[in-house]
């Protein structure tokens, strides 16, 4: 993500999350080139495209999301400087006739997202515009998260005032809910529930042969598989117990390195996500020159990343996008994972505010379904493990719903956010 588009000045809490259809402006393009670029934009559903021949013709009372500029680098610099003093910060694409390293480097330094030359193929130009549109989408989502985060903090001032009473009144219901979840987790799917069923079958099918029993091979294989699943559950509890009572050894990781960890874990899940018709997108790594460090235990933090991504894949509506955003806030690094939750009959969509802490309790589940098609334990232990790992990193993880208008429609998304402290700032 390069820049975050701003709107007309409004009080932060009253600014809408709605975004109109993306607007593209072509500057300095002749008729034939304008028609060609309009077709390119149409391929990625950018239909509101206008063109002007000079900087002086750019409307001053309108804002544009993507600006393709094909005049001199000097004129481009003046345009960027003029835009910097206003409220509009579009994504710039700089066009030039021939490949020139100096001009391209200068354009990028001035703020161009990418450059296009006459030698670029149609496929390459299409890909550049596609990336620009995705970048715009990330910027908008980032801004939505910022607003929702602010609103959440404001709401917590009131929420905490009656929270204790609410917890007392709701404790009996939560206990009942939790016991039901434990029963569901232990009786469905692989692990303890299936283990009891297999043992029962073995008792029925085993044939006594003197000093031993003869048992069908299939039952022994089922016994072995479910014993392994049950053992993994014990391992998770052992891991959480260790994290609670011990401080892990951590190394200094740059923000860019943490971005790299996420990218690597995404690659591991891409096939599974594709099987669910899901796409995972992460913001661009713009932190190569950021010198701040975060204390990270790579092994456990990778585990937390994997659990969060798996959770998003498991509970996302098909044909949607899972987004990952990075934000630096003074002495904190915020990592946001957003997904569009799938609906389930009788269950409220997403994570209601009153359930936002409950989901980090062992065996807590907001669904009665067991996802056998997802390679996870599915015992309501993933998020509790993540919470313990992040806490061991002196951070915190939160979960809440946000409202997004990325596609001109109101959409509820679930935000799981990791908040990590920065150590040795600027060193």
* Contact between 382 and 294 (Cβ < 8 Å): no
Alpha carbon 288 to chain centroid distance?
Answer: 20
pLDDT digits (tens, 9 = 90+) for 311-335: 899 889 999 999 999 998 888 999 9
Could you tell me which CATH number the domain at 251-421 has? 3.30.565.10
What sign does the CA torsion over 328, 144, 348, 193 have? Answer: negative
- Ranges 187-191, 192-196, 210-214, 351-355, most confident: 210-214
- Tell me 208's DSSP state: E
Model confidence band, residue 368 (pLDDT cutoffs 50, 70, 90) = low
Residue 214 or 25, more confident: 25
Stated length of the chain:
427
- pLDDT over threshold 80, residue 226: no
pLDDT digits (tens, 9 = 90+) for 93-126: 999 988 889 999 999 989 899 999 999 999 999 9
* Contact between 57 and 51 (Cβ < 8 Å): no
Contacts 24+ apart (CB under 8 A), 81-90: 87/6, 87/7, 87/8, 87/9, 87/63, 88/5, 88/6, 88/63, 88/64, 89/3, 89/4, 89/5, 89/6, 90/3, 90/5, 90/25, 90/63, 90/64, 90/65, 90/66
Domain assignments of the chain as residue spans, ordered by start = 23-144, 184-245, 251-421
- Structure tokens, 389: 């790992």
Reduced to 3 states (helix: H, G, I; strand: E, B; else coil), residue 115 is strand
Query: What kind of architecture, by CATH, is found in domain 23-144?
Result: 3-Layer(aba) Sandwich (3.40)
Q: What is the pLDDT of residue 215?
A: 76
Least confident of 374-378, 381-385, 401-405: 374-378
269 HSE (CA, 13 A, CB side): 29
Q: Which stretch of DSSP H or E encloses residue 292? A: none
pTM for the full model? 0.67
C-alpha–C-alpha distance, residues 288 and 421, integer Å: 18
C-alpha–C-alpha distance, residues 314 and 378, integer Å: 10
- pLDDT over threshold 50, residue 356: yes
What sign does the CA torsion over 100, 102, 105, 111 have? Answer: negative
Helix/strand/coil (H/E/C) assignment for every residue in 345-384:
CCECCCCCHHHCCHHHCCCCCCCCCCCCCCCCCCCCCHHH
Residue 33 or 424, more confident: 33
Mean pLDDT of the chain: 79
- pLDDT over threshold 80, residue 38: yes
Q: What is the pLDDT of residue 116?
A: 94
């Amino acid at each position: 993500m390069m820049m975050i588009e701003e709107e007309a000045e409004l009080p932060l809490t009253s600014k809408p999350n709605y975004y109109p259809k993306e607007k593209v402006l072509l500057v300095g393009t002749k008729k034939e080139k304008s028609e060609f670029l309009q077709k390119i934009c149409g391929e990625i559903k950018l239909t509101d495209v206008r063109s002007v021949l000079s900087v002086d013709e750019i409307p001053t009372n309108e804002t544009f999301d993507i600006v393709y500029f094909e005049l001199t680098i000097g004129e481009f610099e003046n345009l960027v400087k003029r835009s910097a003093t206003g409220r509009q910060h579009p994504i710039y694409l700089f066009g030039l006739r021939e490949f020139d390293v100096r001009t391209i480097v200068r354009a990028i330094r001035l703020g161009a997202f990418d450059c296009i030359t006459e030698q670029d193929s149609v496929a390459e130009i299409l890909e550049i515009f596609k990336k620009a549109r995705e970048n715009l989408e990330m910027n908008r989502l980032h801004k939505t998260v910022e607003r929702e985060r602010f609103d959440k903090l404001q709401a917590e001032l009131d929420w905490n005032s009656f929270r204790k009473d609410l917890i007392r009144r709701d404790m009996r219901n939560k206990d009942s809910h939790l016991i039901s979840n434990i029963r569901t987790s232990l009786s469905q799917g692989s692990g303890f529930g299936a283990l009891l069923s297999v043992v029962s079958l073995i008792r029925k099918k085993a044939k006594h042969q003197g000093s031993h029993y003869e048992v069908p091979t299939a039952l022994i294989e089922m016994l072995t598989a479910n014993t392994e699943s049950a053992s993994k559950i014990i391992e998770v509890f052992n891991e959480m117990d260790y994290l609670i009572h011990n401080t892990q050894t951590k190394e200094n990781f740059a923000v860019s390195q943490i971005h790299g960890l996420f990218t690597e874990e995404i690659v591991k899940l891409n096939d599974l996500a594709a099987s669910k018709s899901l796409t995972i997108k992460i913001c661009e790594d713009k932190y190569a020159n950021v010198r701040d460090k975060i204390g990270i235990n790579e092994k456990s933090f990778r585990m937390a990343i994997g659990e969060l991504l798996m959770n998003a894949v498991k509970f996302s509506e098909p044909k949607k996008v899972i987004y990952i955003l990075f934000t630096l806030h003074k002495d904190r690094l915020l990592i946001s994972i957003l997904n569009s939750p799938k609906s389930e009959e009788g269950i409220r969509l997403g994570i209601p505010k009153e359930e936002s802490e409950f989901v980090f309790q062992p065996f807590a589940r907001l669904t009665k379904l067991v996802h056998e098609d997802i390679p996870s334990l599915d015992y309501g232990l993933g998020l509790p493990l993540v919470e313990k790992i992040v806490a061991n990193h002196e951070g915190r993880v939160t979960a809440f719903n946000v409202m997004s208008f990325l596609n001109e429609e109101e959409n509820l998304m679930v935000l799981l956010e990791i908040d990590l402290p920065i150590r040795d700032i600027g060193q």
